[in-house]
Structure 1
Amino acid sequence: MKNSLWVHAALFLVSLIYAANYSISKDVMPRYIGPYGIVVLRIVGAAVVFELLRRRFAGEAIVGRADNVRAILCGISGIGVNQLLFFGGLNLTTPINASLIQTIAPVVVLLASVVLLGDRITLRRAGGILLAGTGAALIILGRGSTPAATGPDVTLGNIMILLNATFFGVYLVLVMPLMRKYHAFTVLARIFLVGAVIAVPFGWQQVQAADYASFPPLIWVAIAYMVIMLTIVAYLLNNWALKYASPALLGAYIYLQPALAVLIAVSLDKDTLTWGKALQAALIFSGVFLVSRKPKEKTVIGEEVPLEPVQD
């Protein structure tokens, strides 16, 4: 029971950290530093920390051509391209839009498992994919709730968030064999190193262009939050909780993150919740529920795909 409470606490804290980021990031970018500059600070900082942890606690390296290629693909899909798309998209769209669109990551995990692992889709899950896809499409193509949330830039931002969720879904499928074979710090150190190699060329100019002397204390706190809490602490807590949490529990926390993001964004006056967005959220949640629900034994065609909460 005690361990179960710690698992719930860890998963809740991870959801809260990710949910708050949607609003906190909007205070920093693009006024103080560009979105790709934030990505560089975040990935490079995490790469250094995870490499130190690998040397201290793991002391191993990824070996073999197949595993090294897989690690590079994970660094591209789960860290480098994934983060550039997320912060670039969040810079253009609204916190609520971004949090709702990212909720379809479990759907992408299922589709990626079909393509990469040869799994099959049941009729119920096909219906879930349709519902979630419809909800995401309505958000991407629909009008925003405020004048600042309309126009081609917001549509582009929504599409980038969708691509971010897609790349992360592919990453979850690719990284599973590595996590089972190597220490978590070994895998994280490698994939963040790959991600840094990808991100630095895109964001280094924004890192250099920022006027750090003019940053108010709260902006430094927000940057520290994104580098330390969002990347390092959240990933470590999530990785620990995944050892004990069931897929059903993980599925429940998938819904908590956007709910918290909406509450935080609305309370801080960063976004507005409308009936239209509530309907779109209901479509996505219903679709994800159908996709995440474990099939009955007699209806199982392929293997069950483990689901994990969305990570930025």
Structure 2
Amino acid sequence: MTPAQRAHGAMLLFSILVAGSFSLGGLIANDIAPMALNAVRFVIAAVVIGAVAGLTGQIRGSYYQAPWRYLVLGAFFASYFVLMFYGLQTADPVSASAVFTLTPVLSGVFGYLLLRQVTSPRMALALCIGAAGALWVIFRADLAALRAFDIGRGEAIYFVGCVAHAIYTPLVRRMNRGESAIGFTFGTLVAGALLLLVVGWGDIWATDWANLPLLVWVGLFYVAIFASAVTFVLLQFASLHLPATKVMAYTYLTPSWVIIWQVALGNPAPRGLVLVGIALTVMALVLLLEDAAKPGSRVRA
């Protein structure tokens, strides 16, 4: 299996784990301050990844010769997570998920600006099909819900977070100097944790940690370990081997996985028409994979 193929597999797993963070995160968004939640989230994730990196010998002094890189990356990724939870406090989850589907297109723009990665016509078609399928899934095949879509303050806040996420992806590739995915992730997590501890200290101090509901702790450890530590490594690895647009294209699968998560949590299964949207997202990924395999592709995987 080539590094590019492993990167595609990493992003498939990434989309599954991120979907879980939407389902669980939506349940606890109003029970804890976003800054406090994400500060602890980054600290836990940094400890987990640091332990793995230490045990596998992937922490080396040479990795951290330019620490400013990690501060920049940590700031962008921490901003995404904080703004996501701030947005979910007032935004309807459906509308917020619709905003999230703009991330691959934004990644394509910043991938060109930062890395001169050019999106081929076939890839652009795939992104459009994936966006259409994701929206169809997000709005559960309800055209009335789609027509009623309204951008509010929460959606606007989350959109800024998605812009930060889209910038982060090509920055990983540009700023990496040969570090392993785990070592590079550890540096990013430590920097993000330090920034959040400083900026969010007021919220951290004001939080009644001893009396938080059990569900908050479950959600916190899930987003810290699975939706942060693990997905950070997956995203770092994929960003080193795939163009930014292809990396973020896997976000189109997230709504489909969210439905599966929701059913697993006891919610009713979606209507049959929603499966049309799932099929479109799968079609988009097939087009992306074929585009990556074509010898004449302008952007290689």
Q: Is the TM value for this pair above 0.5?
A: yes
Does residue 87 in structure 1 map to residue 85 in structure 2? yes
> Whole-Å Cα distance in 1 between the matches of residues 28 and 109 of structure 2?
34
Secondary structure of residue in 1 paired with 2:61: coil
Residue 35 of structure 1, CA deviation: 1.6
> Whole-Å Cα distance in 2 between the matches of residues 115 and 19 of structure 1?
29
The amino acid that maps onto 2:200 is G
Give the one of 111, 116, 119 matched to 1:118.
Answer: 116
Corresponding position of 2:37: 38
> Whole-Å Cα distance in 2 between the matches of residues 280 and 159 of structure 1?
25
> Whole-Å Cα distance in 2 between the matches of residues 156 and 285 of structure 1?
32
8 Å Cα contact 2:17/2:226 also seen in 1: yes
8 Å Cα contact 1:19/1:260 also seen in 2: yes
8 Å Cα contact 2:28/2:219 also seen in 1: yes
- Counterparts in 2 of 1:211 and 1:20: CA distance versus 1, 3 Å: same
The worse-fitting range, judged by mean Cα deviation, of 80-89 and 197-206 is 197-206
Q: Which runs of 5+ in 2 are unaligned?
A: none
Any idea what the Cα deviations from partners look like across 1:14-65, whole Å, max 9, x if unmatched? Answer: 43322121121122221x2112211111112222333344444223134687
8 Å Cα contact 2:88/2:96 also seen in 1: yes
Residue 281 of structure 1, CA deviation: 8.7
Corresponding position of 2:26: 26
Secondary structure of residue in 2 paired with 1:228: helix
> Whole-Å Cα distance in 1 between the matches of residues 158 and 289 of structure 2?
21
> Whole-Å Cα distance in 2 between the matches of residues 247 and 116 of structure 1?
10
> Whole-Å Cα distance in 2 between the matches of residues 121 and 8 of structure 1?
17
Corresponding position of 2:100: 102
Residue 129 of structure 1, CA deviation: 6.2
Corresponding position of 2:207: 210
> Whole-Å Cα distance in 2 between the matches of residues 233 and 189 of structure 1?
11
Any idea what the Cα deviations from partners look like across 1:179-202, whole Å, max 9, x if unmatched? Answer: 560123321222122212332244
8 Å Cα contact 2:134/2:253 also seen in 1: no
> Whole-Å Cα distance in 1 between the matches of residues 248 and 299 of structure 2?
17
8 Å Cα contact 1:134/1:283 also seen in 2: yes
The amino acid that maps onto 1:17 is L
Cα-Cα RMSD: 4.8
8 Å Cα contact 2:11/2:234 also seen in 1: yes
8 Å Cα contact 1:33/1:206 also seen in 2: no
TM-score (norm 2): 0.70
- Give the share of equivalent positions with the same residue, in percent: 24
TM-score (norm 1): 0.68
The amino acid that maps onto 1:161 is Y
Corresponding position of 1:310: none
The amino acid that maps onto 1:85 is L
> Whole-Å Cα distance in 1 between the matches of residues 287 and 95 of structure 2?
21
Give the one of 182, 192, 198 matched to 2:189.
Answer: 192
Secondary structure of residue in 2 paired with 1:46: helix
Secondary structure of residue in 1 paired with 2:169: helix
The worse-fitting range, judged by mean Cα deviation, of 289-298 and 20-29 is 289-298
The amino acid that maps onto 2:222 is Y
> Whole-Å Cα distance in 1 between the matches of residues 91 and 263 of structure 2?
15
Any idea what the Cα deviations from partners look like across 1:98-148, whole Å, max 9, x if unmatched? Answer: 344323433233222211122334444555667778999999xxx995xxx
> Whole-Å Cα distance in 2 between the matches of residues 70 and 230 of structure 1?
22
> Whole-Å Cα distance in 1 between the matches of residues 21 and 69 of structure 2?
29
Q: Structure 2 matches for 1:163-202, cutoff 5 A?
A: 163-177=160-174, 179=176, 181-202=178-199
8 Å Cα contact 2:130/2:252 also seen in 1: no
> Whole-Å Cα distance in 1 between the matches of residues 72 and 190 of structure 2?
12
> Whole-Å Cα distance in 2 between the matches of residues 64 and 224 of structure 1?
27
- Counterparts in 2 of 1:150 and 1:277: CA distance versus 1, 3 Å: farther
> Whole-Å Cα distance in 1 between the matches of residues 239 and 111 of structure 2?
19
- Counterparts in 2 of 1:22 and 1:45: CA distance versus 1, 3 Å: same
8 Å Cα contact 2:104/2:249 also seen in 1: no
Aligned length: 292
8 Å Cα contact 2:101/2:131 also seen in 1: no
8 Å Cα contact 1:75/1:191 also seen in 2: yes
